[in-house]
Amino acid sequence: MTEEETISWFVGVDWGSERHQVCLLDARGTTVGEREFPHSGEGLAELGDWLLSMASVASTVAVAIEVPHGPVVDALIDRGFVVYAINPKQLDRLRDRFSVAGAKDDRRDAYVQADGLRTDRRLFRRLQVADPRLIELRAWSRLAQELRAERVRLSNRVRHQLWRYYPQMLKLTDDLAAPWFLELWAIASTPAKAGRLRKSTVERLLKQHRIRRMEAETVLRILREPAIKVAEGVAEAASIHMRSLVARLRIVNRELREAERKLDEVCTAISEIEQTSGEGLQRRDVAILRSMPGIGRINLGTLLSEASGPLSRRDYEGLRTLSGAAPVTKRSGKSLIVVRRYAAHVRLRDTVYHWARVATQRDPKCRTQYTALRKRGHSHGRALRGVADRLLPWPVSFCSDRRYLIRPLADLPHNGPIIQSASNPRVAGGHGEVSSFGLSARFFAL
């Protein structure tokens, strides 16, 4: 029997921060029960017990919920229920089927989810047990993004404080959060202290942080430029702010290094261990993704963590839609409008954008495609989305085959083997060049 035939109970959960409203329907759409459960370990356990008391077998119960993750989802999947998620915007459209006046409350939302799952299950997405490694990778990837954003915010505040009383220091570097720059400010926090700074001290600092693009004489000459005249107390006040900003930036830099190190470790762990359960990626998928032009540590971590579902299912259309690469077409009569897709996963959309941007710099075919789109009058962003749209079939098709690694032409010797066996890399298995989807690459078998 298919899953559709075995499921005979439909549940809608309108989740909340403190309480969850639940509605249970039978196969005919009759309301069997409605209850409210507190958000606690005892409350979620009671929710599972109540559903089992009605249905007896967990595998015959389908549960609809707006969020695809969280403790409610984990608790229901752990009890064996079949859990589905739906986009809140789609749920809002389903709600209009029951109330054209726009009425809304928790009980109504729970009923709409349950009945929508009963009649339109194709609109819902089946949720699986997440791979623990992907959960960890997602946490580190999002933490690294938050730390980078915090680093930029603090850097902008440093720039403003230095502009108030010490603008010559801004000429040293554009990265005002760099550890060497923070150490330099600590020993020369004012123009007066810079005048007493020794050359040997600066040389030691530059050598410690491996700064070779700038010499100690240049640093001292810039710091000792004529200072601007400020009111009495301004330099001291700005220095107070700077000390706080420098202390926070040191913490952010340390945490960011740790997050990036953990990203590499988790990605390596995923590439070395086969998938054991749930919606996860296969071991060789990581190597295939890592070998593609334009994908580095940050993009790889985000793709593996945020797009693990479409990648593991080899769902090209889902990946294309989720990343915002697929445009939205609005056709009515003689009117045809194609616009950018804004309903997308923000982190995945940004990652695919930067993937395409770097690919145009590293791969000649991507650069040619980008140039052709620009000549047709498209903007920079639209041209990069076009390049991304031609890159997305690669991880799906090659991961489905799991036999190929991608190497840009620029990374390989022109007279070297193009297809190699992973078991014996010295043996060439033939020659070939992949040029579909607008990308030129040489490949070798895993």
200 shares a domain with 314 = no
Q: Is 437 left (phi over 0), alpha (psi -120 to 50) or beta?
A: left
Domain span at residue 70 reads 3-126
Write down which residue in 397, 418, 437 finishes a domain.
Answer: 397
- Please state, in angstroms and rounded to a whole number, the distance separating the CA atoms of residues 174 and 128: 45
Closest CA to 382 of 395, 369, 392: 369
293 shares a domain with 217 = no
C-alpha radius of gyration, the chain, whole number: 28
Give the helix, strand, coil percentages of the chain, each rounded to 5: 55, 15, 30
313: Cβ contacts below 8 Å, ≥ 6 apart: 279
375 shares a domain with 290 = yes
Answer whether residue 355 is part of any domain.
yes
Tokens matching residue 354:
């930067």
Answer whether residue 402 is part of any domain.
no
Supply the pLDDT for residue 63: 94
Answer whether residue 410 is part of any domain.
no
Answer whether residue 192 is part of any domain.
yes
HSE, CB side, 13 Å, CA atoms: give it for residue 345. 18
Supply the pLDDT for residue 232: 86
- Please state, in angstroms and rounded to a whole number, the distance separating the CA atoms of residues 416 and 412: 7
Answer whether residue 56 is part of any domain.
yes
Supply the pLDDT for residue 387: 92
237 shares a domain with 307 = no
Write down which residue in 397, 413, 434 finishes a domain.
Answer: 397
303 shares a domain with 205 = no
3-state secondary structure 222-251: HHCCCCCCCCCCHHHHHHHHHHHHHHHHHH
Answer whether residue 418 is part of any domain.
no
HSE, CB side, 13 Å, CA atoms: give it for residue 49. 7
Closest CA to 303 of 115, 141, 78: 141
Answer whether residue 306 is part of any domain.
yes
Write down which residue in 204, 228, 259 finishes a domain.
Answer: 259
- Measured between its terminal Cα atoms, the distance across the chain in Å is 38
388 shares a domain with 297 = yes
199 shares a domain with 180 = yes
3-state secondary structure 166-183: CHHHHHCCCCCCCHHHHH
292 shares a domain with 248 = no
- Please state, in angstroms and rounded to a whole number, the distance separating the CA atoms of residues 279 and 310: 9
342 shares a domain with 368 = yes
CB-based burial, 26-51: b 16+ in 10 Å, e otherwise: eeeeeeeeeeebeeeeebbeebbebb
153 shares a domain with 114 = no
Closest CA to 126 of 350, 346, 318: 318
- Please state, in angstroms and rounded to a whole number, the distance separating the CA atoms of residues 12 and 83: 10
- Please state, in angstroms and rounded to a whole number, the distance separating the CA atoms of residues 113 and 127: 15
Supply the pLDDT for residue 174: 92
Q: Going residue by residue through the chain, which has 446 residues, state the pLDDT in tens, using 9 for 90 and above.
A: 555 558 889 999 998 889 999 999 998 989 999 999 999 999 999 999 999 998 888 889 999 999 888 889 989 998 899 999 988 888 888 888 888 887 888 899 999 999 999 998 888 888 887 778 888 888 999 999 999 999 999 999 999 999 999 999 999 999 999 999 999 999 999 998 998 999 999 999 999 999 998 899 999 999 999 988 888 888 889 999 999 999 999 999 999 999 999 998 888 887 776 544 444 566 677 778 888 888 888 888 888 888 888 887 888 888 888 888 888 999 998 899 988 888 888 999 999 999 999 999 989 999 999 999 999 999 999 999 999 988 888 877 766 654 544 444 344 443 333 333 333 333 333 333 333 333 333 333 33
| Structural domain count, the chain | 3
Tokens matching residue 56:
């007896």
310 shares a domain with 247 = no
DSSP lists the bridge partners of residue 83 as 63
Q: Which helix (H) or strand (E) is 125 found in, with range? A: strand 125-126
204 shares a domain with 119 = no
Closest CA to 85 of 270, 275, 279, 276: 279
